[in-house]
């Protein structure tokens, strides 16, 4: 078996770039939120300080093997998304391990981390953990329905399940982007992404305005560091996924950073405006307008 060490090096380098950009972007978003609330906010380097502090702490509490595999599965989902996601179009060094059917695998990896966390929370001993599991899985399932319809619509439109081929079909000018050639699929996906990023009004599992805030209450030390690492990677890679599918991809890292910031900021902007939904409100919302837009996108094709 031949190992392409050059490919491995640039893939690892890309992962480090994504991780650090995710940490910086999370700091910027928290800073923006603080300024909206007329506060100063955290320093820009605070996520790195928190990450180092968490990885330096060791836990003496034992809840069972599956409980501590939850963050590992969560990180595996984020890293798996990155490994099969083409980052910079036209560059063999930054396409990672993408292949012709990578879009299907990407959709599976999106759900993988959530299922791992559900299994881990179920072994934690917290009597209310099953409430969080039911909330998280119920909401994420309804998020996946319109999102999957949007993905099917563009797969049929471009006659491919390759993300690289979808990006290639959008080259040649901004009017070739999916947002203009298939606005209904784009609208369904961009409404679904509000729930995928987990900001208000769809932050049901963490509920950060309350004292118990979900997984960070039970997971601490290194395990919390793993969750924070995954969050930094996952938010960037999910933004890159939507950039590739609907906004023409990126031909440079600078373009990737700008577009991923704007896509992620969309969810933060909505979160600053709307208060948190209850679970029944959230589920019903995704099964109304986003679902209808996804169905229209399929019908028009």
Do the beta carbons of residue 101 and residue 162 sit within 8 Å?
yes
Do the beta carbons of residue 286 and residue 201 sit within 8 Å?
no
| Residues spanned by the domain of 267 | 5-300
| Residue 278 token pair | 């209850």
Residue 60 CB: number of other CB atoms within 10 A? 5
Cis check for the bond before 201: say yes or no (omega within 30 of 0): yes
C-alpha–C-alpha distance, residues 203 and 184, integer Å: 25
Q: What pLDDT does residue 178 have? A: 94
C-alpha–C-alpha distance, residues 26 and 236, integer Å: 10
Q: What pLDDT does residue 191 have? A: 92
Q: What pLDDT does residue 213 have? A: 56
* pLDDT string in tens for the chain (301-residue length): 566 778 888 899 999 999 999 999 999 988 888 888 888 888 999 999 999 998 998 877 777 788 888 888 888 888 999 999 999 998 888 888 888 888 888 888 888 877 877 777 777 777 777 777 788 888 888 988 999 999 999 999 999 999 999 999 999 889 999 999 999 999 999 999 988 888 888 887 766 555 455 666 677 788 888 888 998 999 999 999 999 999 999 999 999 999 999 999 998 888 888 888 888 888 899 999 999 999 999 998 7
Residue 280 CB: number of other CB atoms within 10 A? 9
Q: What pLDDT does residue 212 have? A: 52
| Residue 84 token pair | 């099969």
Do the beta carbons of residue 38 and residue 251 sit within 8 Å?
no
Cα 159 to the center of its chain, rounded Å: 25
C-alpha–C-alpha distance, residues 219 and 71, integer Å: 9
Q: What pLDDT does residue 124 have? A: 72
For the chain, the domain total comes to 1
Element (H, E) at 280: helix 279-286
Least Cα distance to 46 among 29, 62, 61 occurs for: 29
Q: What pLDDT does residue 1 have? A: 53
Sign (positive or negative) of CA dihedral 190, 196, 199, 201 = positive
C-alpha–C-alpha distance, residues 114 and 112, integer Å: 6
170 vs 87, 257, 263, CA distance in Å?
A: 15, 19, 18
C-alpha–C-alpha distance, residues 85 and 68, integer Å: 27
Q: What pLDDT does residue 211 have? A: 47
Spatial neighbors of 191 by CB under 8 A, at least 6 apart, are 146, 286, 289, 290, 293
C-alpha–C-alpha distance, residues 37 and 42, integer Å: 13
């Amino acid at each position: 078996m031949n190992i392409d060490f050059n490919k491995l090096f640039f893939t690892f380098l890309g992962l480090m770039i994504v991780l650090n950009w995710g940490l910086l972007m999370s700091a910027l978003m928290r800073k923006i939120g603080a300024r909206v609330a007329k506060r100063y906010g955290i320093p820009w380097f605070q996520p790195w300080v928190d990450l180092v502090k968490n990885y330096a702490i060791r836990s003496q509490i034992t809840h069972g093997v599956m409980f501590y595999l939850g963050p590992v599965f969560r990180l595996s989902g984020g890293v798996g998304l990155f490994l099969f996601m083409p980052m910079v179009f036209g560059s063999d060094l930054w396409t990672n391990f993408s292949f012709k059917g990578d879009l299907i695998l990407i959709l599976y990896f999106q759900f993988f981390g959530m299922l791992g966390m559900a299994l881990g929370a179920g072994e934690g001993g917290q009597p209310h953990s099953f409430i969080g599991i039911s909330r998280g899985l119920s909401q994420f399932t309804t998020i996946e329905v319109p999102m999957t319809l949007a993905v099917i619509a563009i797969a049929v439109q471009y006659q491919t399940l390759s993300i690289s081929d979808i990006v290639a079909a959008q080259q040649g000018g901004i009017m070739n982007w999916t947002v203009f050639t298939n606005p209904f699929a784009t609208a369904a996906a961009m409404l679904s992404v509000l729930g995928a990023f987990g900001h208000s009004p769809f932050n049901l599992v963490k509920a950060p305005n309350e004292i118990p805030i979900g997984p960070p209450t039970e997971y601490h030390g290194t395990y919390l560091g793993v969750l924070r690492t995954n969050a930094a990677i996952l938010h960037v890679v999910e933004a890159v996924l939507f950039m590739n599918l609907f906004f023409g991809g990126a031909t440079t890292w600078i373009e990737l950073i700008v577009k991923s910031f704007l896509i992620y900021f969309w969810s933060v902007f909505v979160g600053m405006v709307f208060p948190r939904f209850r679970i029944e409100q959230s589920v019903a919302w995704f099964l109304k307008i986003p679902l209808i837009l996804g169905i229209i996108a399929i019908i028009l094709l």
